[in-house]
Amino acid sequence: LANYGNNLLTFSEPKAIDIPTTYETFARLFQKYVHTGWESSQRQPQRRNIVKHVREVLYPKVKDRVNVDAVITTEMAPGLVAPTKVNLAGRNEVHMIGQIVDFDKKKPASLADDINRVLALMRAFEEKDQEKGKYFIIGREPSNKLSEQHAIWENVRAFPALDFVSDTETDRIDEYIREHNVQPLIPIFSES
């Protein structure tokens, strides 16, 4: 880019500097020429990815007893308008659904879509079977700074038809699946 110019921007030739290449040097130069708050934002502890965490911790325990990352079709739940993807799907005496929701990283409209997808499934299954199922929302409390997301999280926790499970308490779901002998909603065919 040193030779490029488009009447709007011009770039000078790169200059070599004779200083040791260390993280501290880089951070100082970056702050001076690019962005001053960069280093402090980099040092904030990052929260672990909830979806990845649940997939690593819960999926191996339940993958033989329920469908993971399943698509529920309109044939399975006639009250659905379109096929719906969920993280966990099973059935014993009632339907069981589990959905991972990252309240921190999603915008309120996207959160509402995730929750409404589970509610639509719940209504479709209960319309079809005339019985209540078990519907888990797996997540964690979002930051209070995210007021809309926090309000949605509080509503989910207070909604009696949904069972909110913290991402650190997924053993509750594993226990439910074992105690109630939950089987995959969609038959799993093994390759022989």
How far, in Å, CA of 139 to CA of 104, rounded?
A: 9
> Are 126 and 161 in contact, with CB atoms under 8 Å apart?
no
How far, in Å, CA of 56 to CA of 17, rounded?
A: 46
Residues 130-153 as b/e (b if ≥16 CB within 10 A, e otherwise) read eeebbbbbbbbebeeebeebbebb
Mean pLDDT of the chain, nearest integer:
83
This prediction has a pTM of 0.71
Phi and psi at residue 52, to the nearest 5°: -60, -45
Instruction: List, in sequence order, every residue forming a beta bridge with 88; answer none if it has no partner.
Output: 68, 98
How far, in Å, CA of 180 to CA of 187, rounded?
A: 18
Q: Helix, strand, or coil here: 166?
A: strand
Q: In which band, very low, low, confident or very high, does the pLDDT at 192 lie, cut at 50, 70 and 90?
A: very low
Looking at mean pLDDT, say which of 29-43, 123-137, 160-174 comes out highest.
160-174
- pLDDT at residue number 59: 92
* H or E element, residue 118: helix 108-129
How far, in Å, CA of 26 to CA of 22, rounded?
A: 6
Predicted confidence (pLDDT) per residue in 50-74, tens digit:
888 899 999 999 998 999 999 999 8
